[in-house]
């Protein structure tokens, strides 16, 4: 399972971390004081511990719909940019405080930590939150990339292709297929690119020229 997006059922609770920009943005990507424990190793044929520091971009594809995100982590600091590179790009930044950012407008709002839940889960944990007993079958290797087919043990007519990069210790590509007889249809995909083990420092800072506004004003839709 791979991505908490409203367009998917089997993919609920993955990379996206919040389902849509409005209220979803306010519901996820939060407190990091209690780190997510490593997933049980007997569920997966590889390590599931997330790197301490990293930066990457994520592309989620469901049919004609494509969404991009940028994820960065440095110790206890976190940032997720949703709809990265688009006019509606917004971000959640956690450093000394939690900030909700509208980079295109150059504004941000502070969020009361008392309003947050511990939902800023580790990316690897979210990527592999399959949600049901599944079997992994290794199908090939190319350099540091190991490919697996993941099939639900309950016999559901679906499967997932996972590519795991041993050099960074993270899944980098996942494709969800439904199966109907001899027909195999790609329903959803997630791909990681631009991985860095040392994130860009400016990702965790707010430019001095940006304006602090209320949460209500920041979330107000454009006129």
Distance CA 80, CA 123 (A): 11
Please give the residue that has the higher pLDDT: either 113 or 142: 142
Distance CA 108, CA 70 (A): 18
Q: What is the mean pLDDT of the chain?
A: 75
Please determine, for residue 195, whether its predicted confidence score (pLDDT) is greater than 90: yes
Please determine, for residue 69, whether its predicted confidence score (pLDDT) is greater than 50: yes
Mean pLDDT of 115-138: 58
What is the gyration radius of the CA atoms in the chain, in angstroms?
18
Q: Give the pair of three-digit tokens for residue 178.
A: 């439904």
pLDDT of residue 127: 55
Mean pLDDT of 37-65: 76
Please determine, for residue 130, whether its predicted confidence score (pLDDT) is greater than 60: no
Distance CA 4, CA 119 (A): 12
The region of weakest confidence among 125-134, 146-155, 199-208 is 125-134
pLDDT of residue 109: 94
Please determine, for residue 114, whether its predicted confidence score (pLDDT) is greater than 90: no
pLDDT band at 43 (very low <50, low <70, confident <90, very high): low
pLDDT of residue 117: 43
Distance CA 171, CA 57 (A): 13
Please determine, for residue 20, whether its predicted confidence score (pLDDT) is greater than 70: no
Mean pLDDT of 120-135: 56
Distance CA 5, CA 115 (A): 22
Q: Which residues pair with 137 in a beta bridge?
A: 149
> Between the CA of residue 147 and those of 3, 136, 172, what are the distances in Å?
19, 10, 10
pLDDT of residue 180: 87
pLDDT of residue 193: 92
30-66 burial, b at 16+ Cβ within 10 Å, e below that, comes to bebeeebeebeeeebebebebbeebbbbbbbbbeeee
Mean pLDDT of 185-198: 92
Instruction: Please say whether the beta carbons of 83 and 19 come within 8 A.
Output: no
Phi–psi pair at 166, nearest 5 degrees? -65, -25
Please give the residue that has the higher pLDDT: either 9 or 42: 42
Distance CA 33, CA 46 (A): 26
pLDDT of residue 209: 93
Give the strand pairing for 183-196 and 211-212: unpaired
Please determine, for residue 163, whether its predicted confidence score (pLDDT) is greater than 60: yes
Please determine, for residue 26, whether its predicted confidence score (pLDDT) is greater than 50: no
Distance CA 195, CA 167 (A): 11
């Amino acid at each position: 399972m791979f991505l908490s997006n409203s367009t998917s059922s089997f993919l609920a609770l993955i990379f996206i971390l919040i389902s849509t920009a409005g209220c979803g943005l306010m519901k996820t990507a939060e407190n990091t004081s209690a780190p997510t424990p490593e997933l049980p190793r007997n569920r997966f044929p590889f390590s599931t511990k997330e790197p301490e520091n990293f930066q990457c971009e994520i592309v989620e594809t469901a049919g004609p719909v494509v969404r991009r995100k940028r994820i960065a982590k440095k110790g206890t600091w976190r940032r997720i940019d949703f709809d990265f590179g688009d006019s509606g790009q917004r971000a959640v930044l956690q450093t000394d405080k939690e900030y909700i950012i509208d980079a295109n407008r150059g504004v941000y709002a502070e969020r009361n930590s008392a309003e947050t839940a511990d939902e800023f889960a580790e990316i690897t944990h979210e990527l592999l939150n399959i949600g049901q007993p599944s079997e992994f079958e290794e199908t090939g290797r190319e350099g540091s990339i190991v490919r697996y087919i993941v099939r639900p043990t309950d016999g559901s007519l679906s499967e997932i292709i996972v590519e795991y990069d041993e050099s960074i210790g993270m899944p980098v590509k996942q494709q969800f297929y439904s199966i109907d007889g001899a027909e195999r249809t790609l329903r959803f995909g997630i791909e990681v690119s631009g991985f860095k083990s040392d994130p860009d420092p400016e990702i965790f800072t707010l430019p001095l020229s940006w304006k602090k506004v209320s949460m209500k004003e920041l979330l107000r839709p454009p006129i």
